[in-house]
Structure 1
Amino acid sequence: MNKSYTVLISLIVALGGFLLGFDSAVISGAIKGITTYFEMTDAMLGFAVGCVIFGAMAGNLVAGPLADRFGRKNVLIVVAALFAISASWSAMATNYTEFIIARIIGGVGIGGAILIAPIYIAEIAPPRLRGSLVSFNQLNIVIGISVAYFSNYFLVDYGDQSWRWMLGVEAIPAVVYFIALFTVPKSPRWLIQKLNKVKLARKILQKIGGEEYAEITVNEIQRGLAKKEKKGRLRDLFKSKYATIMIIALGIAFFQQITGINAIFYYAPTIFEQAGGSTDSSFLQAIVVGLTNLIFTLVAIWLIDRLGRKPLLLIGSSVMTIALVMAALAFNSAKYEFDESSLRKVDDYQIFTTLTELRGNTYDNQTALFEAVKPKLRDDQFMEFKRSHVTNFISINASLVLVAILLYVAAFAISLGPVMWTLISEIFPNKIKGIAISVVGFFNSLVSFSVTQVFPWELTNLGPTWTFAIYAIFSFIALLFVYRFVVETKGKTLEEVEDLLIRT
């Protein structure tokens, strides 16, 4: 078994995950800059952040079929080019529309990378290493997130338009990925399935695991293909024999995003500012979030082929629920105090003058605060107060908020984060894999887009308490879903998984 060669291939392909993670998190540092430069409302900001997921939906829809037709490797090369174009263009954008288009192009790259990289790795990896190697993609995603937070921290004071540097630096790893992809082989399963190039596939498999492994794997691939008479289509996904597979895939795809992970990653500094932190401390805390994500993703890679997929999902969703409840309780116990120190932080003179009437007052929750402030301000001033000034008055156990967020991220990193992509790369048979992966990926992105789009509105109108409480409820439902529906795939070949899940 040439483990080092297989690991090297997987690491190169998984660089797409690095770009995905970097692209996802880097916007968190640019939020203030782009909001000011493009004069955004809450809705415009939500779309500017979430439109990358809108683009990912398009990438999800086309990536699977294109990968089936032209090969996994070729699609990933195009993905790398899209990342480079998006990073450069978004950094140079001069108007809101141009910025959105550039972000959507990057989203198409995300949609392709998040689906095709795990498929490629699953198809070249030996069964006993598959879970760990597929998790390389998730590992690179979290490394990308961590690097983005570090990059934002060091660039935040780099001039009046530091956000341009934050977004543009992504072009460098994108070009490296583009070049590196030319060194990896094509998927042996795709070569046999699409081109019937058995000799070339066998040669690649021999380099991965030796002659005996190559012969066994080629025979299994051909045995699996012998069952299929024609290429799968969208309507095939609704056949009763695939019901179990689709329930698992769509359910996990839904709960991975509805529990709020991208809201945390995209708005981490904003959340910590809601807890009363300064800009610098909020960026530093975001770095801690990224590092926590990285460390526990490494734990997941170590455990996924030892403990299994389902146990990790059960443990992770349980701890996520507890952490989200902690965050909701922390914000629920916050108080809002109008004293000299907090009032001096308001930099809008008209708002400051009006709010001095409330000097000495304390409010036990955000609802009471807004009820007291709203009658005293114009509608535009009240919106500005909710977006920019409410954090000046909060008195909260910020340490509890940080611990809750870190616990939540750690639990996600050992469960729904890496396990979802491992599962969906394993459970679909070759006949419907391309179209099924695209449909599930599109659904996952749709849920993610909805969460990201709504989050600024939730923070402004519902407050952080109810926002985190809603995520906690969904996390608990996710726990029940995993217990009831998810099956274990650890240690099984892709063909054995197919036999286990398809109803005959």
Structure 2
Amino acid sequence: MAGINGRLVFAIVSSTCWSAFQHGYNTGVLNAPQEVMSEWLQKDALTGTNLTIPATKDPKVTTVWSVAVSIYCVGGMIGGVITGLVADRLGRKGGLMWNNVLVFLGAGLQGFSKMANSSEMLIVGRLFIGVNNGLNAGLAPMYLAEISPVSLRGSIGTVYQLVITMTILLSQVLGLETVLGTPSGWPWLFAVTAIPAVVQLCTLPLCPESPKYLLLNKGAELHAQRALNWLRGDVAVHGEMEEMHQEAEKNKVSKKVTLRELFANGQLRQPLIMAIVVMIAQQLSGINAVMFFSTYIFTQANLNEMQSQYATLGMGGMNVVMTVISLLLVEIAGRKTLLLVGFMGMFICTVGLCVASTYTEYYPWVSFLCIGLVILFVVTFAVGPGSIPWFLVTELFNQSARPAASSVAVTVNWTANFIVSLSFLPLFTILKANVFIVFAVFQVIFILFIWKKIPETKNKTVEEITAMFRQQL
């Protein structure tokens, strides 16, 4: 049986680690330096601002800042929409390589925006990096799924989310006032993203294209076998080649699946609904709300600003640790089990936060209970809901449908992210801690859906998984 080896690890690092770096790092990079960047916008980049009030309360500054934050999600949605097209035209590896052009554009525009005193450069740079991250979120898990042995597909698929959690933490550390979160240092926070892009352009050409893409999309059998031999090392690849040949024969009948067919064909519509729901579930689980609410909870517990920052870093560190544990458990416990355990744990924490937060004014010790619930929430999110949706989508579809399905799923994920980021603050202003009731309701719906509908894909080939859907029709 094929297992892990040096070349496979090199391909995973070269393809996914540097792509996921962009996704995680750019998700968290604006959080820590918000105050110093808002002051720059108020005093230098924008005209007509009110210098008598704090920059973070200036309406013009907050509007531009909101656009800079939300345009990133819009870019992600655009990247998601074109994922299928890029994956088919340029290949998985080729798409990841060309995608770095957007990194250089985004890093350059954001890095030089202070020098040019241009908020427009910052916003357009965020848009470019958003498109890059949307493409990465589709292409990297797809490449991983197609180069991984069946027995390791879940663990290797979890690597994408693991690197996201690590680089969110890195962006928070670099954004501290003692590092680069300063008036002169923040442009370097954005410029640094060019480094992993350069590394990827140096290492990824040494790795082969996805063997499945070469055989099933290009019909290049010899190149596909060479690629598989490279990835598997000394392990014989005849069995895997035979499986790919069988899938290729079926693809000759079905041809490439279009978006219209994806929704019209009952055999494809069923897994597509599953893919869409798990992507929505990841975003509507309340993780972004809890991360935001944590600052409020830390304040209630009388932590000062510096202590709050380090507490936030501690949460990020816990997220990384639990994602590593998820990577180890996913091939033992299975995808469905970890999703259910994760969402059930999040539901308990959400209800606990909703109840406990009403008593923080009367009992100071309850604030520390809330801190514990926030950390536990992050732990249960990392166990399954954080990582599994990214690669589960690639497991539910065969080669002909995978690009289109990934495109839809990634677009839905970024759209849900966009909606949550826009709606949470107004909801929080109106409902305060009761906003968690909304997320608790969603969590119950997702638990029931996963329990009733999501199949276990652990140790199953793509053909076995698609056969399950055919039998259910």
TM tier, smaller: 0.7 to 0.9
Distance in 2, matches of 1:81 and 1:453, equals: 29
Give the C-alpha shift of residue 276 in structure 1: 5.0
The 3 A distance-change label for structure 1 pair 466 and 99 is farther
**Cα distance 1:453–1:38, how it changes in 2: closer, same or farther (>3 A)?**
farther
Q: What is aligned with 2:4? A: 3
Is 1:427 aligned with 2:396?
yes
1:182 aligns with: 205
Equivalent residue, structure 2, for 1:106: 129
Task: Show the counterpart of 2:120.
Answer: 97
- Note closer, same or farther for the CA distance 1:179–1:25 as it changes in structure 2 (3 Å cut): same
Shifted more, 254-263 versus 80-89: the winner is 80-89
In structure 2, relative to structure 1, the CA distance for the partners of 1:126 and 1:255 (3 Å cut) is same
- Which residue number in structure 2 is paired with residue 473 of structure 1? 441
In structure 1, C-alpha distance between the alignment counterparts of 2:467 and 2:75, rounded to whole Å: 35
Q: 1:430 Cα deviation (Å)?
A: 1.4
Post-superposition shift, 1:91? Answer: 3.2
| Cα displacement (A) at 1:156 | 5.8
Indicate the larger mover: 195-204 or 300-309.
195-204
Tell me the equivalent position of 2:376. 407
Q: Match of 1:253?
A: 279
1:98 and 1:396 map into 2 onto residues whose CA distance is 46
The Cα of 1:207 is off from its aligned counterpart by 2.8
Match of 1:236 among 261, 266, 269: 261
Note the C-alpha offset of 1:397.
Answer: 3.9
Query: 337, 342, 350: which is aligned to 1:316?
Result: 342
AA paired with 1:289? Answer: M
Deviation at 1:273, TM superposition (A): 4.5
Secondary structure class of the residue paired with 1:487: coil
Question: For 1:79-478, what aligned pairs fall within 5 Å after superposition?
Answer: 79-93=99-113, 94-153=117-176, 155=178, 159-209=182-232, 213-228=236-251, 229=253, 230-238=255-263, 239-264=265-290, 269=295, 272-273=298-299, 277-335=303-361, 397-463=366-432, 465-478=433-446
* Structure 1 residue 208, shift from structure 2 partner: 2.8
Paired residue secondary structure (1:196): coil
Residue 487, structure 1, aligned to residue 455, structure 2: yes
Higher deviation after alignment, 306-315 or 476-485: 476-485
Structure 1 residue 501: deviation in Å? Answer: 2.2
- 1:30 counterpart = 2:33: yes
Distance 2:299 2:87 in 1: 42
C-alpha contact 1:198 1:218 (8 A) present in aligned 2: no
Shift of 1:95: 3.4
Structure 2 CA distance for aligned equivalents of residues 126 and 244 of structure 1: 25
Sort the Cα spacing of 1:477 and 1:396 in 2 relative to 1 into closer, same or farther, 3 A: farther
Q: What is the aligned counterpart of 1:499 among 447, 467, 470?
A: 467
Query: In structure 1, what is the Cα distance between the partners aligned to 2:326 and 2:372?
Result: 20
1:73 is the counterpart of 2:73 = no
User: Equivalent residue of 1:38, what SS?
Assistant: helix
Q: Distance in 1 between matches of 2:186 and 2:431?
A: 28
8 Å Cα contact 1:2/1:208 also seen in 2? no
The residue aligned with 2:82 is 62
1:171-220 deviations in Å (ceiling 9; x for gaps): 32332233222222100000012221111111121233368742222221
Over the residues paired in the alignment, what is the CA RMSD in angstroms? 2.4
Q: Which moved more, 1:195-204 or 1:166-175?
A: 166-175
**Taking structure 1 as reference, are residues 408 and 161 closer, same or farther at Cα in structure 2, changes over 3 Å only?**
farther
CA deviation after TM superposition for structure 1 residue 270, in Å: 6.6
Bigger CA radius of gyration: 1
Contact map agreement 2:350 2:377 (CA 8 A) in 1: yes
User: Matched residues, percent identical?
Assistant: 28
In 1, Cα distance between the equivalents of 2:460 and 2:212?
Answer: 17
Q: Quick one: which amino acid aligns to residue 65 of structure 1? A: L
Counterpart Cα distance in 1 of 2:364 and 2:67: 31
Counterparts of 1:2 and 1:304, CA distance in 2: 16
CA separation of 1:110/1:157 partners in 2, compared to 1, >3 Å: closer, same or farther? closer
CA distance in 1 between counterparts of 2:36 and 2:296 reads 13
What one-letter code is carried by the residue in structure 2 that aligns with 1:49?
A: V
Q: Is the 8 A contact 2:3 2:149 kept in 1?
A: no
Cα deviation for residue 224 of structure 1 reads: 1.2
* Cα drift, residue 466 of structure 1: 2.3
Please point out which of 25, 49, 54 is paired with 2:69: 49
Corresponding letter in the other structure for 2:4:
K
Look up the equivalent residue of 1:3 and give its one-letter code. Answer: I
- Give, in whole Å, the separation in 2 of the partners of 1:95 and 1:76: 29
Note the C-alpha offset of 1:252.
0.4
Residues 29, 156 of structure 1: 8 Å contact kept: no
CA distance in 2, matches of 1:292, 1:92: 34
SS of corresponding position for 2:174: helix
Contact 2:180 2:186 in 1 (8 A): no
Counterpart-to-counterpart distance in 2, 1:433 and 1:20: 21
In structure 2, the CA distance between the partners of 1:163 and 1:157, relative to structure 1 (3 Å rule), is closer
Quick check: 1:47–1:453 contact (8 Å CA) kept in 2?
no
Deviates more, 1:89-98 or 1:308-317: 89-98
Gaps of 5+ in 1: 336-363, 365-393
TM-score, normalised relative to structure 1: 0.82
